Copies of this chain bind each other. A is one copy, B any other.
Amino acid sequence: MFYHKKELQYNAKPDKPDPVYAKKLQEVLGGQFGEITVAMQYLFQGWNCRGNEKYRDMLLDIGTEEIAHVEMLATMIAQLLDSAPVETQEEASQDPILDAVMGGMNPQHIIVSGLGAQPTDSAGYPWNSRYTIASGNLLADFRANLNAESQGRLQVVRLYESTTDHGVRDMLSFLIARDTMHQNQWMAAIEELEQQQSPVVPSTFPKEKEKQEVAYSFMNCSEGTKSQYGRWASGKSMDNQGTFEYDANPEPMGQAPSLNPAPHYIHDTPLFAENITNENK
């Protein structure tokens, strides 16, 4: 069960409105790697966690914190939209510069949400839950989480560079620091799990059931051989179970496929005589 306090986790006070920046800031609220994504992802991972209560507890801790980040960003965006120049558009036809500024806004911030934040990204695309994953395998999911925090911090940093508003930068410096912690946290949790099992996910699938011949070879499918100088092309494999090989000229190992004709009730194209008699194999 959840509880809410009225105060924000950290201040969200812009120096002044900036409706064009409000559009951009939506990315880290409702985008692919925005705060809604991590909140939902961590909560569902926690709720679905089977055993290993330490991780369940940790996931619900951080999932709950992320809702507070959603709240901070929504509050900031609403303030950045204060006094968006709707009415003055009447004069904008005389003032093309003002028209242009409004062109940089998301029109839905006026028409749909009435100067409020939206659960969408900076292109106006709605958040959807296929951005998240809760697979039941914690090592797989913690890698998803480390990626989300890496992409998220990168995006916040780019947004930090795109403004000089001290209030906005102050809030972003808080979110950047939390992402530093969260990247560290997932690295720590991954290290714990990798020490208890193989780093290859899932660690419980019998090795003899996979095609060993191709389990450690790098295939050079794009002409050019710079890729052979990477760590992945020679030496001990990272899971200590094999040795990296470099396959400079990978060749097909399978059949040239030829499908059966469809039964008549499918009403595909009929087989042509030429195909039946000569060209068709």
B131 adjacent to A12 (CB under 8 Å): no
Residue from B9, B119, B255 in contact with A132 in the complex, judged by beta carbons closer than 8 Å? B119
A218 adjacent to B185 (CB under 8 Å): yes
Looking at A53, A258, A279, the one whose CB has the most chain B CB atoms below 10 A away is A53
B54 adjacent to A202 (CB under 8 Å): no
Chain A, interface size: which category? 35 or more
Residue from B9, B50, B58 in contact with A261 in the complex, judged by beta carbons closer than 8 Å? B50
Residue from B9, B133, B147, B191 in contact with A253 in the complex, judged by beta carbons closer than 8 Å? B9
Residue from B49, B187, B261 in contact with A51 in the complex, judged by beta carbons closer than 8 Å? B261
B130 adjacent to A126 (CB under 8 Å): yes
B115 adjacent to A214 (CB under 8 Å): no
Q: Known contacts A103-B103, A112-B27, A136-B266; is A6 also within 8 Å of B238 by CB?
A: no
B108 adjacent to A226 (CB under 8 Å): no
A210 adjacent to B57 (CB under 8 Å): no
Q: Known contacts A136-B115, A204-B270, A266-B110; is A51 also within 8 Å of B275 by CB?
A: yes
Please, how many angstroms separate the alpha-carbon atoms of A127 and B131 in the complex? 10
B4 adjacent to A60 (CB under 8 Å): yes
A67 adjacent to B2 (CB under 8 Å): yes
Distance in Å from the Cβ of A194 to the closest Cβ of chain B? 10
B122 adjacent to A125 (CB under 8 Å): no
Residue from B114, B133, B163, B205 in contact with A32 in the complex, judged by beta carbons closer than 8 Å? B133
Please, how many angstroms separate the alpha-carbon atoms of A13 and B256 in the complex? 11
Residues of chain B with a CB closer than 8 A to A272's CB: 52, 196
B279 adjacent to A189 (CB under 8 Å): no
Residues of chain B with a CB closer than 8 A to A104's CB: 99-100, 102-104
> Besides A120-B123, A158-B267, 6 other CB < 8 A contacts?
A11-B255, A102-B104, A114-B268, A116-B136, A143-B150, A192-B231
Pairs A-B, 4 closest by C-beta atoms: A103-B104, A114-B136, A123-B124, A48-B116
